[in-house]
Amino acid sequence: MASLTLKDVGKKFGKTAALSGVDLHVEDGEFCVLLGPSGCGKSTLLNVIAGLVPQDKGIIELDGHSIDRLAPRDRDVAMVFQSYALYPHMTVAKNLGFGLRMRGVPKATIRKKVLDTASLLGIDGLLNRKPRELSGGQRQRVAMGRALTRRPKLFLLDEPLSNLDARLRSNVRLELKQLHTRLKTTIVYVTHDQVEAMTLGEKVVVMRDGEVRQTGRPETIYSFPADTFVATFIGSPEMNLYRGMILHNGEHPVFQGRGFHMDMGDLQLNPVDGEVDLGFRPEDVKIVEAGAETLPVKVEMISDVGSEKYIHTQIGREHLTLRAPKDASFRPGEIINLTIDLTRLHIFKGGVRMD
Amino acid sequence: MSREQIEHTIIRVLRIVGILFFVLMVAFPFYWMIASSLRPLEEILMNPANLGLDFRKIDLSAYYNVLFDHGFVRYILNSLYVSIITVALSVALATVGGYAVTRLRFRGQSFMSYSILIIYMFPAIVLVIPLYVIFSHMGLRDSVNVLILVYLAQTLPVALYMLRSYFKTLPLEIENAGLIDGCTRFGVIWRIIIPLSAPALASVGLYTFMIAWNEFLFAFMFLDTPDKFTLSRGVVQLAGSVHLSKQLVMAASVLVTLPILFLFLFFERYLARGMTSGAMKG
């Protein structure tokens, strides 16, 4: 186990910057998730940490010691690949023990450790099979087992669940979480799936265009997104976000959006010049009886996801989505009245969060 | 009959005719060669147009003759030596070379990668005269080792090209897994790339062996001493000798052909693809 520190790591492929100025600290035993859309540099970052891709600048430290000059095999890290990358010509047992064998560990020890790992993951019955004789879920376990057998300082997981079907994925996600609680290993986990990031991560790092946009606990990132990208990338359905001005003419500040305005009540706001982005999440809108301060809107479409309903409406010339309980019975065309939880408003100036 | 049935019948007939045609083209000369080599000399002389082979009168003396009286044991050993060394060197060099141009980044990598085949654009006949002159001057000419050098130059481009194409199909992630699990670059080649490329290596080996085993032009030009003759050179020597006996030439030809045939039948199962299935998702 070890802590991992990255300082100002940069990498260019030709003229495009895959990573620029990435700083990151992962505590000993922490589960850190790198989250971002495809092409944001998260997999490159993982390869840089593993030593498969050399960085152009910056320092990588494991337990306070620089590992920049070490070959991948000397870094004492293990990696689980998206495609699993099992050795097709070796049995499961050989796959699991390969890393130990390369390090000259005695055969008896290897056998014992392979058995331990296999029973930990419930694949003891498959040890003599070849990868092509396994199902997708079994291959995924073997891939994880191969990383586990060696007990390295650091685990790197590159979208390990993305090739599983939805049901299996949520099961394995839970197991992974339990495994981490049990083994307390330091993990860097790459995904583009925000549900994985939020459920697994103790620390979530949101990346875009090779830069870290926000680092924090999942609930912090959800409740206090640092910029409009993080705000819209995290959360489903995504946050309602409107461009407009905040006016301080009357007794309350008022947000003037495209074709609508919103009284901001007693919210204490410093005057802001120019345009801002105002956001609130679909669950922070409530449907209420008509009243003086409610916002009447027309229901346009309803998406029923079973556990709840998403109601799509129009506010001024902008789109608004809100969450409604599963028993809500509205019809398209119906007028409903909304109130917005003003304490949960997010205001961004130039794309960056204001407090 | 419906239109569909008629079409099916026509296709079936055409297929049988086609297969028969090619089988005859290939098998008849082969059969004729074997049959002639096994018939007693008098019978060939008396009845040269007879295509049948009388199993009661099979005569192996031609083989004995060719092997022991005409030095073919020596020629076989020479051919084996040249072919095996050529295969070993060609496969070894093509593996590291093919890996380098597929995976490693270095100056001129893509030029190297694509210019490999240019050398193959020169027909052997264009090269043989200058090489003859050069090797004569260097005093290297009458030697089987020089043949190995020439055969390597001939087979390496294609071997490299074949392996390069195959290596490109191997998933990079498996190699990365190997590097992280504790292999060096050579470890990755040895423990992962080579086992996974067994079918491709078998084809390259077979191809190289056939070229080296069958090659005639350079062997004819470069070798003067009968002790150093390879098989194909030996057959021509035999065919050109004064007491021409068709039976002997045929027996010698069979000796040239059979090893290739068995080699091919033996390696055929290794040529099958699908070694990497199961490494990846799906």
| Chain B residues with CB-CB distance to A73 below 8 A | 179-184
Beta-carbon contacts of A83 under 8 Å, excluding residues fewer than 6 positions away, are: A163, B171, B173, B279, B280, B281
Q: Which residues of B touch A71 (CB under 8 A)?
A: 179, 184
Q: Which residue of B has its CA nearest to A85?
A: B174
Residue B280 Cα, gap to closest chain A Cα (Å)? 5
Per-residue pLDDT tens over the stretch A303-346: 999 999 999 999 989 999 999 999 988 889 999 999 999 889 99
**What value does the mean pLDDT take over residues A8-23?**
93
Chain segment B180-236, per-residue pLDDT in tens? 999 999 999 999 999 999 888 988 998 899 889 999 888 888 888 888 898 888 888
Amino acid at A146: R
Report the run of H or E that residue B30 belongs to, with start and end.
helix B3-38
Domain spans of chain B?
3-59, 63-271
B189 contact residues in A (CB cutoff 8 A): none
Q: Give the minimum alpha-carbon distance from A87 to chain B in angstroms, rounded to a whole number.
A: 6
* Dist. CA A325–CA B93, nearest whole Å: 69
Give the pLDDT confidence of B149-181 residue by residue, as tens digits.
989 988 898 898 889 888 998 999 999 999 999
Least Cα separation, residue A30 to chain B (angstroms): 21
- Residue whose token pair is 């000796």: B255
Residue B122 tokens read as: 């020169």
pLDDT value for B280? 52
Q: Which chain B residues contact residue A103 at CB under 8 A?
A: 182
Mutate to test the interface with B, among A84, A155, A162 (most CBs of B within 10 A): A84
Mean pLDDT lowest among A25-34, A97-106, B223-232: B223-232
Contact residues on chain B for A136, CB-CB shorter than 8 A: 281-282
Q: Which residues of A touch B281 (CB under 8 A)?
A: 82-84, 136, 139, 163
Residue A248, pLDDT > 50, answer yes
Q: Is the pLDDT of residue B276 over 60?
A: no
A98 touches chain B (CB under 8 A): yes
- Look at residue A264 and tell me whether its pLDDT is greater than 60: yes
CB contact under 8 A, B195 and A78: no
Tally: H helices and E strands in chain A: 8, 21
Contacts 24+ apart (CB under 8 A), B167-173: B167/B98, B167/B99, B167/B102, B167/B103, B167/B193, B167/B197, B168/B102, B169/B276, B170/B196, B170/B197, B170/B276, B171/A83, B171/A85, B171/B276, B171/B279, B171/B280, B172/B103, B173/A81, B173/A82, B173/A83, B173/A85, B173/B280
CATH number of B63-271: 1.10.3720.10
**Do B177 and B159 touch, CB atoms closer than 8 A?**
no
Q: Which chain B residue has the Cα nearest residue A158?
A: B173
Report the pLDDT value the prediction gives residue B274, as an integer from 0 to 100. 41
A185 to chain B nearest CA, in Å?
A: 18
Task: Match domain A240-354 to its CATH number in 3.20.20.140, 2.40.50.140, 2.40.160.40, 2.60.40.1250.
Answer: 2.40.50.140
Whether A111 has a pLDDT exceeding 80, the answer reads yes
- CATH H superfamily, domain A4-233: P-loop containing nucleotide triphosphate hydrolases (3.40.50.300)
For the ranges A55-69, A173-187, A256-270, B38-52, the lowest mean pLDDT is seen at B38-52
pLDDT digits (tens, 9 = 90+) for A141-161: 999 999 999 999 999 999 999
Mutation target to probe the A interface, by most A beta carbons within 10 A, among B104, B176, B181 is B181
Closest partner CB to B180 (pick from A72, A134, A139): A72
Q: Where are the domains of chain A?
A: 4-233, 240-354
State the burial class of residue B233 (Cβ atoms within 10 Å of its Cβ: 0-12, 13-18, 19+): buried
Q: A with B: how many residue pairs have Cβ under 8 Å apart? A: 92
- Say which of B176, B275, B282 has its CB closest to residue A89: B275
Instruction: Look at A98 and B181 and tell me if their CB atoms are within 8 Å.
Output: yes
Is the model more confident about B92 or about B49? B92
CB A155 within 8 A of CB A187: yes
pLDDT bucket at A3, cuts 50 / 70 / 90: very high
